[in-house]
């Protein structure tokens, strides 16, 4: 959910039950800028990497040579999200990728380790080999809700998919993990203390610190590229009605992520402050390469709840700029380590389906 967060537009979770972890997937890759809307002046040479299904949360390796992402495609025998990795293709070449996760349960929120030889991700496979059930939204007035599966724990695997370490083992939801620029710390979301909070773990010794303490959902956190700050999405229920609804859903391991704003703090969690106040869902935030500006996804311009587009904003909340223009969904932006390219996920070029795919573009300032 992060991050894992699976898009509000029907890009529901992406999980898989593939049996062959060495299977390589390929897709033809256009080498033109026909995938770019005229107003998208910050994108150039857009390349579509995946075709079909729900593909999301694609993130770079620290050396900028690989991507890890989550994918669901029932047509390919992937009924719920599983984790895949692949090398960044040269322009015009197909993107080749393989299954990294176990193919059991549901997975989310993968991230490379600093050595580029391992990946961390959350999975429910220890709870059950089957995909966990999705919530019955009719029971909750057809509201958009996310499940917080208590069987989610965070694991580390090598690039052949072998799990080498289990990093969390709480009775609650543990997921949405990313790493600090030096690779030594992991920030993640957990419900182990009764609310949806952020924790930072020292990967060497396993010690950890809870860094949020306010009622509401805190998740999808990242370190800034210079390692001095954190950024995440948060809900802050305030009225009695909002608080009751939040707590009632949480008691059933659910959350309604329809009212979220972007927050930042120092790297230790101090000086936490809200950056956006647009209403609706402002999420999937990340610091830009300069560690000062922010990029995030939002539907705040549209009362109907979509499209979601990408926006940039200064750290002080000024200079909001709209970056992307798809009529459905653009989200999960991540800049390459050198800051010259950007990965994002979008509904564009999906033939009128609900497919979400991964796109690579040059970034133009």
Each residue's pLDDT tens digit, 35-76:
999 999 999 999 999 999 999 999 999 999 999 999 999 999
Residues in the chain: 365
pLDDT at 12: 36
Rounded Cα–Cα distance for residues 357 and 275 (Å): 29
Contact 317, 311 (CB under 8 A): no
CATH topology of domain 24-363: Neuraminidase (2.120.10)
Q: What is the pLDDT of residue 25?
A: 56
Residues 324 and 297: beta-carbon distance below 8 Å: no
Does residue 309 have a pLDDT over 50? Answer: yes
| pLDDT score for 290 | 98
What's the average model confidence in pLDDT over 247-253? 97
Over residues 180-207, mean pLDDT: 98
- pLDDT per residue as tens digits for the range 275-302: 999 999 999 999 999 999 999 999 999 9
- Average pLDDT along the chain: 92
Count CB neighbours of 31 within 10 A.
Answer: 12
Find all residues with CB under 8 Å of 143, minimum gap 6, and list them: 137, 256, 258
pLDDT tens-digit profile of 203-230? Answer: 999 999 999 999 999 999 999 999 999 9
In the sheet that 174-179 helps form, which strands lie side by side, from edge to edge? 174-179, 185-190, 197-202, 208-210
For 345-364, the pLDDT digits (tens) are: 999 999 999 999 999 999 99
CA 348, 350, 356, 357 torsion-angle sign = negative
- Whether the per-residue pLDDT at 1 is higher than 70: the answer is no
Distance, CA of 53 to chain centre? 16
Average pLDDT of span 152-165: 98
Q: pTM here?
A: 0.92
Confidence of residue 18 (pLDDT cuts 50, 70, 90): very low
pLDDT at 20: 34
Phi and psi torsions of 140, nearest 5° = -120, 35
**Residue whose C-alpha is closest to residue 174's, from 185, 187, 162, 161:** 187
DSSP letter (8 states) at residue 132: P
User: Where residue 236 falls among pLDDT bands split at 50, 70, 90?
Assistant: very high
Cβ distance 216 to 200 under 8 Å? Answer: no
Which helix (H) or strand (E) covers residue 251, if one does?
helix 240-251
* Kind plus residue range of the DSSP H or E element containing 284: strand 282-287
Tell me the CA end-to-end span of the chain in Å, nearest whole number. 30
**Residue 305 tokens, joined:** 């709840």
Pairing of strands 208-210, 218-223: unpaired
> Could you give the count of Cα atoms lying within 13 Å of 151 in the half-sphere of its Cβ?
15
Domains in the chain: boundaries: 24-363
Beta strands in 61-129 (DSSP E): 66-73, 78-87, 97-99, 107-112, 118-123
The tokens for 277 are: 């106040």
Residue with tokens 């040579």: 65
CB count within 10 Å of CB 19 equals 10
pLDDT at residue 33 tops 80? no
Q: What is the mean pLDDT of the segment spanning 137-152?
A: 93
Distance of CA 242 to the CA centre of its chain: 25
Find the mean pLDDT for residues 321-333. 97
Higher local confidence (pLDDT), 256 or 16 = 256
Report the C-alpha gap between 258 and 246 in whole angstroms.
Answer: 11
């Amino acid at each position: 959910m992060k991050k894992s967060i699976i898009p509000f537009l029907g890009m529901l979770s992406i999980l898989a039950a593939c049996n062959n972890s060495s299977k390589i997937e390929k897709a033809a890759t256009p080498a033109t800028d026909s995938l770019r809307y005229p107003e998208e002046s910050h994108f150039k040479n857009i390349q579509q990497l995946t075709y079909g299904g729900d593909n999301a949360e694609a993130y770079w390796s620290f050396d900028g040579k690989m991507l890890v992402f989550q994918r669901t495609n029932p047509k390919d025998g992937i009924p719920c999200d599983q984790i895949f990795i692949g090398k960044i293709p040269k322009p015009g070449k197909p993107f080749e990728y393989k299954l990294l996760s176990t193919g059991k349960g549901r997975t989310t929120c993968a991230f490379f380790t600093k050595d580029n030889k391992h990946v961390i991700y959350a999975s429910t496979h220890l709870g059950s080999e089957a995909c966990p059930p999705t919530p019955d939204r009719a029971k909750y007035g057809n509201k958009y809700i996310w499940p917080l599966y208590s069987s989610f724990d965070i694991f580390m695997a090598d690039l052949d998919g072998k799990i080498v370490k289990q990093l969390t083992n709480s009775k609650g939801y543990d997921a949405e993990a990313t790493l600090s620029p030096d690779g030594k710390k992991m920030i993640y979301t957990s419900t182990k203390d009764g609310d949806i909070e952020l924790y930072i773990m020292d990967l060497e010794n396993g010690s950890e610190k809870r860094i949020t303490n306010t009622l509401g959902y805190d998740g999808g956190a990242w370190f800034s590229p210079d390692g001095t700050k954190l950024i995440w999405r948060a809900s802050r229920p305030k009225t009695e009605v909002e608080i009751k609804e939040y707590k009632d859903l949480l008691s059933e391991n659910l959350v309604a992520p329809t009212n979220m704003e972007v927050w930042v703090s120092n790297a230790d969690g101090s000086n936490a402050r809200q950056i956006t106040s647009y209403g609706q869902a402002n999420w999937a935030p990340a610091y830009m390469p300069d560690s000062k500006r922010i990029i995030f996804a939002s539907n705040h311009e549209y009362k109907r709840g979509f499209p979601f587009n990408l926006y940039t904003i200064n750290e002080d909340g000024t200079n909001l700029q709209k970056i992307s223009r798809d009529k459905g969904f653009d989200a999960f932006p991540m800049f390459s380590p050198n800051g010259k390219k950007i990965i994002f996920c979008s509904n564009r070029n999906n033939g009128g389906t609900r497919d979400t795919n991964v796109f690579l573009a040059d970034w133009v300032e």
